[in-house]
Structures are given as C-alpha cells and as structure tokens.
A and B are shown apart, each in its own frame.
Chain A
Amino acid sequence: MAKTILVVDDSASLRQVVGIALKGAGYDVIEGRDGADALTKCTGQKIHLVVCDVNMPNMDGITFVKEFKKLASYRFTPVIMLTTESQESKKEEGKAAGAKAWVVKPFKPEVLLGAVAKLVLP
C-alpha cells in the first residue's frame, strides 16, 4: 500500500511540482494550501510524512509544524521544510518546531525524494 505524504504550500504550481515528483515515486499525495488548510486535512488518517513550505498566508509553516506536532496521531510524523528561506535563524526555528530536514527551493526531484526516502515512516 502506497504511503501518504501531505504537501503544504501556498503556491499551486509548487504543490504540482512536488506532487509529480512524489507520485512518480509511488507515494500518495494530499495537499494543503497553507498551514490552516493543512490542519483541516489532519483528521487522524495515516500520514507518513509532511513536506511543508515556510512562508504562507493564514498560517505559516513553522506555526503549522508546532500545531501539527500537538496532534497525538502525528506526534512522530516527520516533517521536511521545503522553502526559499536559507537563513540559519529560520532553520533553527524549524528545528525547534520539530522539523526533521530543511530543503531549499529550487530543489531537484531526486534530492527531495532522497530526503523523503530517508525519513518516511515505515
């Protein structure tokens, strides 16, 4: 059974690009337009990994990760931050929130898939 990955990004084109890479590798993908929208998708179903942008309207990525990690079902679900931000201070914020990896856009699909394969839950 394919593993499910939640992709959170306010850019529809980026969600598409990430979706193409992940679906091509055999993963199922669900999407969130921003942090708030993504939280509404976290209703207890199995999510094996989250790929999340940082700068988004309504709820930014760091806040989303903090809220996501408060949900009992997803306490151990790994999160990869996928963002244009490359500042160390931002990375530290992501780490403190509970993210497991930080990938800077633009990304090569094989690079993202490598990180996903390393972190995705069994």
Chain B
Amino acid sequence: MKTIFGVEASFKQLFAPFALAAAGGAGTIVAGWGAWGWYTVLWAALLLAGAAWCAFGPPVGGQVPGGDSMIVRYLHGRDAFGAAVLPVWSRHMENSRTQMEDAVADLATRFSSIVDKLDRALHVSSLEGNQGGQSMTAVFSHSASQLASVVASMKSAMQSKQAMLAQIRDLERFTRELRDMAEGVASIAAQTNLLALNAAIEAARAGPAGAGFAVVAQEVRHLSSRSAETGRNISQRVGQISSAILAASQAAEASSDAEDQSMQSAEGMIDSVLADFRTMTDALVQSSDLLKQESIAIQGEVGEALVQLQFQDRVSQVMSHVRENLALMPTVLEENRRHFEATGELLAPDPAPLLDALKSTYAMAEEHAVHGGSRHVAPKAADADEITFF
C-alpha cells in the first residue's frame, strides 16, 4: 500500500489510470481530427472510464495483494463489532436470566410462606385438630351433659325438700290430735270434779259416818283440779308447738317456692346459654369447614402456581443456550476473516457450525421443535403416568 497526497492507494489504482490515459492520448494523436475524430473522442472516453474504474473500482480477482484491501479492513471491523457487541448482548441476557431466576426464587419463597401460614392458621382454627384432641362440638356436648346433670341434681334436691315439707305438714296434723287429746283430759277433769263434789255432798248428808268419804271426795276434787291444770298446760304447749310447726312449714314452703322459681330461672338461663353456645359453635364449625375448603382450594392454586413457576427454569435454560451460542460468534467471524486472508476467497459466514453447536446444547423437546421451525411450543406438566421408573 502506498500513500499519495495522504491517500492510501494500490498499484492498480496508482498506475493503471496513467497508462490508459497515455494510450488515449496516443490514439488521438495518431488518428488526428477528421473523419475519425469522433471515434477517437469515443475511444478516449472509454479509456478514461477504464482508468477511473481501475482507480476506484473493486479489486479484480480473488487475490488481494498484501491483505491491505478495504475488504480486509471491513473484516477486521466486523470482528471488532462482534467482539464489542456480542459480549454486551450476552451480559444483558445473563443479567436478565439471573434477575428472572432471583425473582422467581423469591416468589417461590413467598408462596412457601403463604402455604406455611395457611397451614398454621388452619391448624389453629381446626375444631377437630386442636391441642386437647376435643372438638368444639364435643366440648359443647360435654358441657350440655354436665349442666343437665346439675339441673337434675337440683330437681332431686327440690323433690327431697317437698317430701320434708309433707312430713312437717303431718307433724301439724299430729299436734292437732294432741290438742284434741288435751282437751279430752280437761273434759274428764271437769266431770271428775263434778263427781267429787256430788260425793262430798252425799258424805255431808251421811254425817259422821261419811267423814272419811268426805276426805276421799276432797282428794278426788284436788286430783281433778290438777288434771285440769295439766290438760290446760298440755293444750297450751301443743298450741305453741303447732304454731312453731306451722311457722316452720310456711317458711319451708315459701323457701321451696323461691327455690323452685330460682331453679326454673336457672334452667331457663342454662338453656339460653347452651342455645347461644350452640349457635356460636355451629357458626364456628361452618367457618372452620369453609376455611378448610378454601384452604384446599388455595393449596390447589398454589400447586398450579408451582407448576407455572417451573417454566422460568426452562426459559432460563434456553437463554443460557442462546447466550453460549452468541459467545461463539466472534470466533466464527474471526475464522471467516482468517480464511479470506489466507486464501483470498470471500465467503459468507457458515451458520451450520453455530447451529450445530446450539443444537448440541438442547435439553428440551421444545428447543428441538423451535429449532425445526415451530414458533410456539407450550409443554404441559408431566402426569403421573409419564414418570419412568427403572
């Protein structure tokens, strides 16, 4: 390569135009102006065009002397272009792939956390699986049974009290009989007194012979008086006892009525509380059932999401394979240039080695399908019958 006026030019570019111009000048001189003048001008124009082509046209033949041609510059530039651009593309792809993987891993972690929390919430709220091993329904039944036995005990106590009240009423009847008997004693005493008085009269009429009999009559009157007094005392005591028994009976009856009302009120309240409790437990059971159903549905959704998340792995693999293939491109371009420099033969880069290398990295059927021309291949998750057991 030589430099003329600061411009690099090849041998052909430097000397061929001058040679052709000289040939044109010589032809013009030889032919002169005349009948052949226009042919001479035409000849000169053709020679000048040839000179211009030599100066500025593409090199002739496959050989480029000294490898200094524009093509070589282009090929070097193309290598530099590949070396500059392709690593950037690769880094962007790898960065995107890494970001996607990190994001999906984070997403999977969050899903995992959601599933854990859901399990814990379900465990805590589960009526069948709580720590005591007792369900809310069982607790309710147990409570209702215990409260029913309490009410039954209270009713039994009330019945005992009613029996005692009946016995007190019997006592009152006995005291009435005692009072009648006391009155009978008083009546006998009055008749005895009357009889003794008659005897004393008859003894006085008998004179001295009836003096002893008068003493007996006096003693009988004295005894009847004491009997009457005793009868009155008995009647008075029995009256007092009867009044006490009546008062006790009335008090017991009033107490019994109050307790009966109290028990009925307690029973009503217990029934009301149990009804409220039943309503609450029914609502909780329904809520728990709903939670279980929702939990199962959510877990199903999460399972489906886990399947979808796996597609990141597939995309990541495809991107890695393409990135690795891109990294081979500078070498292919360099080899293409070296081939030109060695042989002078300018060949288009051969895609086959790159495509073969790319194909050799394929792991998935969809990669082969896409390589073969398919535009969109969406693999589905493997079913149980697609497992291969060895």
The answer for the CA separation of A21 and B309 in the assembled complex, in Å, is: 13
Report the minimal beta-carbon distance from B113 to chain A, rounded to whole angstroms.
Answer: 10
With a CB–CB cut-off of 8 A, which chain A residues contact B309? 13, 17
Select which of B306, B314, B379, B386 is within 8 A of A17 by beta carbon: B306
What 1/0 flags go to B293-325 for Cβ under 8 Å of A?
000000100110011111111101100000000
Question: How far does the Cβ of A111 sit from chain B's closest Cβ, in whole Å?
Answer: 5
Asked if B140 CB lies within 8 Å of chain A CBs, one says no
Interface size class of A (residues with CB under 8 A): 35 or more
- Complex formed: what's the CA distance from A104 to B313 in Å? 12
Contact of B112 among A19, A91, A101, A114 (CB under 8 A): A19
From 93 to 122 in chain A, residues with beta carbon under 8 angstroms from any chain B beta carbon are 94-95, 99-111, 114-115, 118
A73 at the interface (CB under 8 A from B): no
CA distance A1 to B182 in the complex (A): 92
Nearest B residue to A55, CB-CB: B363
Say what secondary structure dominates the interface of chain B.
helix
Cα A103 to Cα B383 with chains together (Å): 9
Q: Judge if B115 is at the interface, Cβ distance under 8 Å.
A: yes
Q: How far is the CA of A16 from the CA of B307 in the complex (A)?
A: 12
**Are B101 and A13 in contact, CB atoms less than 8 angstroms apart?**
yes
Interchain Cβ contacts within 8 Å, total number: 111
User: Residues of A contacting B7 with CB < 8 Å?
Assistant: none
Q: Which residue of A lies closest to B303 (CB)?
A: A109
Contact A84 B313 (CB under 8 A): yes
- Let me know if B313 and A108 touch, CB within 8 A: no
Binding stretch for chain A, among B23-31, B66-74, B103-111, B142-150: B103-111
Is residue B163 contacting chain A, with contact meaning CB distance below 8 A? no
B365 an interface residue at 8 Å Cβ cutoff?
yes
B382 touches A108 (CB 8 A): yes
A54 within 8 A of B: yes
Q: Is the CB–CB distance between B115 and A20 below 8 Å?
A: yes
Complex interface bits, A1-32 against B, C-beta within 8 A gives 1, otherwise 0? 00000000001111011011101100000000
> Does any Cβ of A come within 8 Å of B389's Cβ?
yes
What separation, in Å, do the CA atoms of A102 and B387 have in the docked complex?
Answer: 6
Take A20-B112, A101-B387 as given contacts and tell me if A108 and B381 are in contact as well, using a CB distance cutoff of 8 Å: yes
Find out whether the CB atom of A108 lies under 8 angstroms from the CB atom of B303. Answer: yes
Which among B102, B299, B386 has the highest number of chain A CB atoms within 10 Å? B386
Find chain B residues with CB under 8 A from A63 CB: none
Complex: A14 Cα to B314 Cα, angstroms: 10
Cβ contacts A70-99/B at 8 Å (1 or 0 each): 000000000000011110000100110001
0/1 interface trace, chain B 264-302, chain A, CB 8 Å (1 if under)? 000000000000000000000000000000000001001
Considering the chains assembled together, what is the distance between the CA atoms of A19 and B113 in angstroms?
12
**Cα distance A16–B312 when bound, in Å?**
12
Residues from 10 to 39 in B contacting A, C-beta threshold 8 Å: none
Q: A20 — which chain B residues lie within 8 A by C-beta? A: 108, 111-112, 115, 302, 306
**Chain B residues within 8 Å of A16, by CB:** 105, 108-109, 112
Q: Return A76 CB to nearest CB of chain B, in Å.
A: 14
Interface residues of B in 154-178 (CB under 8 A from A): none
User: In whole Å, how far is B111's beta carbon from the nearest beta carbon of chain A?
Assistant: 6
Contacts of B390 in A (CB 8 A): 94-95, 99-102
A84 touching B317, Cβ below 8 Å = yes
Q: How many angstroms between the C-alpha atoms of A95 and B390 in the bound complex?
A: 6
Inter-subunit contact A84/B364 (CB<8 Å): yes
Query: Assuming A16-B109, A114-B384, is B314 touching A100 (CB within 8 A)?
Result: no
Residues in A with CB closer than 8 Å to B316 are 11
**B388 contacts partner chain A, Cβ-Cβ < 8 Å:** yes
Q: Which residue of A lies closest to B113 (CB)?
A: A20
| Interchain CA distance A36-B104 in the complex, whole Å | 24
Looking at the complex, which one of B119, B302, B363 makes contact with A84 (CB distance below 8 Å)? B363
Q: Which 5 A-B pairs have the closest CB atoms?
A: A16-B108, A106-B310, A13-B104, A12-B105, A102-B388
B contact residues vs A (CB 8 Å cutoff): 101-102, 104-105, 107-109, 111-112, 115, 119, 299, 302-303, 306-314, 316-317, 363-365, 379-384, 386-390
A-B residue pairs in contact (CB < 8 Å), sample of 20: A11-B312, A13-B101, A13-B104, A16-B112, A20-B112, A55-B317, A55-B363, A91-B388, A101-B388, A101-B390, A104-B382, A104-B386, A105-B313, A106-B313, A107-B382, A108-B303, A108-B384, A110-B303, A111-B382, A115-B387
